[in-house]
Chains A and B, each alone.
Chain A
Amino acid sequence: MFPIDIRPDKLALEMQEYSQKLAQGMQNLMDAGDIDAGVTPKDAVYQEDKLTLYRYQRTGATVQRPVPLLVVYALVNRPYMTDIQEDRSTIRGLLATGQDVYLIDWGYPDQADRSLTLDDYINGYIDRCVDHIRDAHGLDRINLLGICQGGTFSLLYTALHPQKVQNLVTMVTPVDFKTPDNLLSAWVQDIDVDLMIDTMGNVPGELLNWTFLSLKPFSLTGQKYVNMVDLLDDADKVKNFLRMEQWIFDSPDQAGETFRQFIKDFYQKNGLLKGGVQIGGRPIDLKQITCPLLNIYAQQDHLVPPDASRALDGLTGTDDYTELAFPGGHIGIYVSGKAQKEVTPAIGEWLNQRSG
């Protein structure tokens, strides 16, 4: 049988419909208005340099749990991904389970932040945010939820300050940075990171954008825009698409010294598995993590492959380790409808069982 069965009149109709959708959709595009970055009301409770610590306002009449939860996002990309729209908000999902949610917004580093190291981020910024929350609530320990690179930071922090963390959740967090299916890791092995940082200072967000788009260039810079035409007639879908588009290209610059150490110690030397990582002169020993640990990973994650996260099993000193697999991708675990139904309720339930 011949593999292409497209009649000329059907082809002409398809082309015409495509062009008409594009033309008619222009109105929705131009009516989209300003794209908001985060939908849940929040208050800035602490600020330091470019960092802002937010506390999200309670929703509804949910009984608030006594132990607050601090969300530590990655330095790469912006944290409003977790709160991108009303019906796709991980933050709202957590609030609905009774969590008192705080989130660190790292801001937009500039060249004045070039000298910030991992020590400054982990033993400095994160520790001071944790102390602020502990003081505000009169508690010795709080719950921590780390996302992607923020999860790695949360592991490092908990290993260095185990007395301050009650429960730890890691989401799509790389632990083994050299799994065979990790493209980012493969690409970075031959890069002279010292030359890069000595030359540029900070790593521009545009370079990171290019790297992420290069993972699937034809889909992400081509096919996506052809597919978009199909939803141009729905104003809500257009707005949601534009929100994602804004987030994808909203990449902050990376503080140079932090990037240097992160790439060298983790991506190139795989330090969490091989050992040898030091933060502020203190060696990292994941066995110091003895609090309950929930490790969530996405089964179709092309940025942090599942095995990269699952490597955490057995590395810590906890006897309460739980894994949760989500059938989706690195972004879908936050924005998909399925994630809202499965992931955030599971996190809430897990935390509530261990937070009193």
Chain B
Amino acid sequence: MTDNGLFNNDWMELQRRYWEGWTDLSRKAMGLEKPKTNPWEAAMEHWWQAFKPAAPDPSKVFMDRMLEQGKVFFGLVEQMTRGLGATGAATDPTAGWDVLNKTLTGMQDAFTGAMGRGMTGADDDNATQRLLGFWELPLDNWQRMMSTLAPTPGDWLRNMPHGPVQDSLHRVLSAPGLGYSREEQGQYQELIRSGLDYQRALTEYASFFSQLGVKSVQRMRELLTERGDTERPIESARALYDAWIGCCEDVYAEEVSTRDYARIHGRLVNAQMALKQRLSIMVDETLGAWNMPTRAEVRTLQDRLQETRRENKRLRHDMDDIKRRVAAIATTSGPAKSPVARKKTVVRKKTVAKPDTP
């Protein structure tokens, strides 16, 4: 280890003493009432908050992501092994299974409860929150992606009221516009309708995934049963985490290959596009009112320009081809002969002298 800048030998020694201290603390804590927050998660978070200010900016985002996944890893292992140490599961499998089944059922209940209140809740401890949040990954990915494409935050529609409130809104929106601004009213109505449609599609998409969480826990239960029956126990935290990931991916792959998911996915994308199109139309209307170029106009010009360029390139290609053929002909037919001298024909124009004017 070099002795340059922050990460020198002293820093590494500090790291080592830090982790040894946490190890001692965790050994003392084992067997006592578990804290709400996984001590390893807390330790990792504490370490990162202490050293984050010193890390270069590009690394911070990357490390945040790695730490987040590390916390999911720790949280899952803590969740799954909660209480197993006290039961002596190795010597008393029945007691161990009692605890494990309670844990798995609790996880399924957490997913089921989360479906009602929108996934993670404040009542869940950190480990459960991370577990539930894990199944929000696909939805989270969608919202991060849409945030990069929209001027508004990607999730602003997620918590819009739905159900009876939406129905009332739809009734209000179906009322026709009146008067001089009838068209404008109609556009705003369409915009709100598109927003509601997108919100409905997003809710449907989120519900789909929350159901998969329940199925993934069941798949994990089956896997653990099979491992117990075949006497191939899981012997490390990483293997436990990998087994959970495998169950999640298997359940996910089965469900997203169905026609139902394809329809839900298609509805989500189409609803988002319809909303964006509505916004674009209204932006264009405003720009046009300000006598500024609109997107529609720019696109028309782009299409015409591209057509012209296409034609030009085709013509140039044809011309080059013709030049090559002419050159080939000139080469194969030998040097050009001298032109035969042509006898020049002279045409004499008969002139008549004009009479002198008096």
A residues near B, CB below 8 A? 1-6, 8-12, 14-16, 18-20, 22-24, 26-27, 29-30, 111-112, 114-116, 119-120, 124, 128, 181, 183, 186-187, 189-192, 195-196, 198-201, 204, 206-207, 209-210, 213-214, 216-219, 221-223, 225-226, 228-229
Contact = CB atoms under 8 A, between A and B. Distances in A.
A34 B121 CA distance: 41
Q: Which 6 A-B pairs have the closest CB atoms?
A: A190-B266, A115-B306, A3-B228, A5-B233, A3-B227, A210-B145
B1 to A, nearest CB: 8
Given A19-B19, A222-B245, A191 B59 contact: no
B86 to A, nearest CB: 10
A192 B273 contact: yes
A14 B273 CA distance: 47
Nearest to A123: B314
A223 B70 contact: no
B15 A23 contact: yes
9 contacts: A2-B90, A4-B96, A22-B70, A24-B12, A30-B59, A195-B274, A218-B248, A223-B241, A225-B69
Interface in B160-193: none
B330 interface: no
A207 B145 contact: yes
B23 A16 contact: yes
B231 A222 contact: no
A12 B228 contact: no
A14 B238 contact: yes
B81 to A, nearest CB: 6
Interface stretch (B249-257, B285-293, B335-343, B348-356): B249-257
Contacts of B303: 115
A143 to B, nearest CB: 22
Contacts of B231: 1
B263 interface: yes
Contact of A206 (B73, B81, B149, B238): B149
A200 B69 contact: no
B130 to A, nearest CB: 11
Contacts of B235: 5-6
B245 to A, nearest CB: 5
Interface of B: 1, 7, 12, 15-16, 19, 22-23, 26-27, 30, 40, 43-44, 47, 51, 55-56, 59, 62-63, 65-67, 69-70, 72-74, 77, 80-81, 84-85, 89-90, 93, 96-97, 100, 134, 137-138, 141-142, 144-145, 148-149, 224-225, 227-229, 231, 233-238, 240-242, 245, 248-249, 252-253, 256-257, 259, 261-263, 265-267, 269-270, 273-274, 276-277, 280, 299, 302-303, 305-307, 310, 313, 317
A219 B262 contact: no
Contact of B141 (A9, A181, A183, A221): A221
A22 B67 contact: yes
A24 B67 contact: no
A12 B30 CA distance: 10
A192 B275 CA distance: 13
B81 A183 contact: no
Given A4-B89, A226-B73, A228-B66, A196 B273 contact: yes
Contact of B276 (A190, A200, A209, A225): A200
Contact of A1 (B70, B73, B233, B237): B233
Contacts of B7: 26-27, 30
A200 B233 contact: no
A50 B30 CA distance: 62
A189 B142 contact: no
A353 to B, nearest CB: 32
Nearest to B140: A221
B276 A199 contact: yes
Contacts of A191: 265-266, 269-270
A225 B270 contact: no
Contacts of B142: 210
Given A22-B70, A26-B7, A187-B262, 9 more contacts: A15-B74, A18-B73, A19-B40, A24-B15, A191-B269, A210-B145, A214-B141, A218-B134, A219-B245
Nearest to B209: A217
A102 B173 CA distance: 59
A121 B85 CA distance: 64
B66 A22 contact: yes
Contacts of B252: 216-218
Nearest to A131: B317
Contact of A116 (B97, B228, B236, B306): B306
Contacts of B90: 2, 5
B313 A124 contact: yes
A183 B257 contact: yes
Given A116-B306, A222-B134, A204 B141 contact: no
A222 B69 contact: yes
Contacts of A119: 310
A228 B225 CA distance: 30
A95 B22 CA distance: 54
A219 B231 CA distance: 27
Contact of A29 (B47, B62, B229, B233): B62
B273 A199 contact: yes
Nearest to B248: A218
A233 to B, nearest CB: 11
A19 B7 CA distance: 16
A225 B93 CA distance: 33
Nearest to B58: A30
Nearest to B139: A217
Contacts of A228: 66
A204 B273 CA distance: 13
A88 to B, nearest CB: 22
Contact of A30 (B16, B55, B238): B55
A110 to B, nearest CB: 11
Contacts of A222: 69, 72, 134, 137, 245
A223 B70 CA distance: 9
A195 B270 contact: yes
B65 A2 contact: no
B287 to A, nearest CB: 16
Contact of B137 (A12, A183, A221): A221
Contact of A199 (B66, B89, B280): B280
Nearest to B1: A27
